[in-house]
Structure 1
Amino acid sequence: MTTYSKAGILVIIVALFASVALIQHYTITQSQYGPEVDPGPALPGVAAELPRLVNLKTQNCIHCKRMVPVLRELEEQYADAFSIYTFDVGVSPEIGRSFGTIRTVPTLVFMDQSGREVYRFEGYMSKSEVLERWRSLGLSV
C-alpha cells in the first residue's frame, strides 16, 4: 500500500467512528427528552379545584433554599387559594422534562385550576412578588 491509501483508509475509519458516535448520541438524546408531555395529569392534586404553584428546584441551589421559607409561609396563609408543589429536578429529572425546557432553578410554574401553565418565572421571588403575580394573572388570593 502507498502512504496515500493508508491515510485515506484512516480518514474513512475516523469518519465511521464519528458517525457511530453521532447516531448513539442522537438515540440517547431522543430517548431522554422525547416529545414534550402534558404535565397536568402527572401532578399530584390535578383534580383539585385550586390553582397550583409548582416549584422546580435542586438540592444544592442557594436560591432554591431561599424559596423554602417563602413557599412555606404562602402555603400556610393561602392554602385555601392555591396549592404549592415542590419537585427536585436533580432527583426526578423526568418531572423536570415534563415541564419542557428548564434553563435555571428555581423555576416557578403558575398553573390554573385545569392544570394549564399560565406563567413561568426563573429565579427567586419574594412572597409579595408571588402574590402580585397571582393577582396580575386574575387568580384570586
Structure 2
Amino acid sequence: MGRRSPPAVLLLLGLLAACTASPEQALTTAERSEIEQMLFEWEEQWLQTTFSRDASHLERILADDLVYTIEDGTTIGKQEMIASWVDEPNTYTTWVIDDVEAHWFSDEVVLVIGGDTNEGTDPDGNEIGASGRFTNVFIERDGIWQMAIGHYTPTG
C-alpha cells in the first residue's frame, strides 16, 4: 500500500474528528489531562512489551481495525503489530521515549507524538541502536480508548 501524504493524513484526522463528535458535554481540562497521562503511560508500557514479550497490553490498547505504517511505508494491522513486538529478534538494554505531546482533535480523538531511542544487541551479539519519531492516533469508542492509526519514522 502506498504512503499517504501529510495533507491526506490531516484530512483523515479531520474526518475522524467529525465522525466521532458527539453532542455530549465537552471534557474539562482536568479530564483531558487525565486522559493524556493515561495515553503517555500506555506509550511507556508499550515499550515494556519488548522486554517482557507479554502481548496483553497491546491486545488491550490496539484497535481491532488498527492501521499502522512501519518504517518502509508498509501498513500492518493489529495482529502483525503485536507479533512484531513479541517476536522481536533483538535484545534491548534500553528503550526510552521522549518529547511526547498530545494534540486533541475532539473529545474522542487524540494525536500523540513523540520520539524514541533504543540500544541493544542483535541475535549475533552486535551492538545496535536507533531512534525515531512516532505518531499515534487514539480514539474513544463506547467509553474505551484505543490506538486506531499509527506511523513510525526512523531518524537515526
Same-fold call, TM cutoff 0.5: no
Give the structure-2-normalised TM-score.
0.27
Query: Which structure has the higher relative contact order (CA within 8 Å, separation 6+)?
Result: 1
Which protein is bigger by CA-based radius of gyration?
1
Give the structure-1-normalised TM-score.
0.28
More strand by share: 2
More helix by share: 1
